[in-house]
Structure 1
């Protein structure tokens, strides 16, 4: 019975994003977005390195994996990040030359926007207000 309890999926640990230039991607995610670098190790089987980064308060990491024919860069990742102030983050990223779309605001819906990394991978941000 105990084996059956342990044989389940418990959490999301890492989400992979295919990138053409791992050095450029690492610089973007760390320097521009402010993520933490957790790992950077050569993996010959991948044809590059295993690089993991994460937003400062996140348990889930992002793996910046080498793009290949079966996993090309420039995809809609479906990844949604959160921020306490979407308008301020939108302005900051725009000011740093990041390819961002308009800040979307609708009544009753948190402000949100999408942006692209240097490889054209689409990422999303939505505002989550601080707890009262």
Structure 2
């Protein structure tokens, strides 16, 4: 049995750096994530043949979201599994609703230990959850 199969540290993975979210129009997505959600743009790099590597993130957040064009046979509008954190869930729900974002009708409250939360969709229908 090797050291890596005995349960000792076998990789040098240190953190979740970014997640990819498929979007139909990178400019429209960039405007939504930066202009509407208030994220910061961390990268917008041409990759040749009209492709771009775009990363956005909440200000000061460790992990980023890469706004990618869908791979062949895929489409935007996915359940991302991404859960964002809010300091004030009610204020953020109201602010996003007022900005025209497709948010759940209300903040869900199931009681401890489940945090208050609501879902929202970006312009491509990609689904996210915000918790407090």
| TM-score normalised by L of structure 2 | 0.86
- Matched positions, count: 123
* 1:107 aligns with one of 89, 93, 111: 111
Distance 2:74 2:98 in 1: 30
Ranges in structure 2 where 5+ consecutive residues have no aligned partner: 1-7
| TM-score normalised by L of structure 1 | 0.86
Q: Deviations over 1:49-96 (max 9, x none)?
A: 100110012110110001233432000000000001111100000000
Q: Are residue 119 (structure 1) and residue 119 (structure 2) matched?
A: no
Q: Which runs of 4+ in 1 moved over 6 A?
A: none
Ranges in structure 1 where 5+ consecutive residues have no aligned partner: 128-132
* 1:67 aligns with one of 65, 70, 77: 70
**RMSD of the alignment, in Å?**
1.7
Structure with more strand by fraction: 1
Greater C-alpha Rg: 2
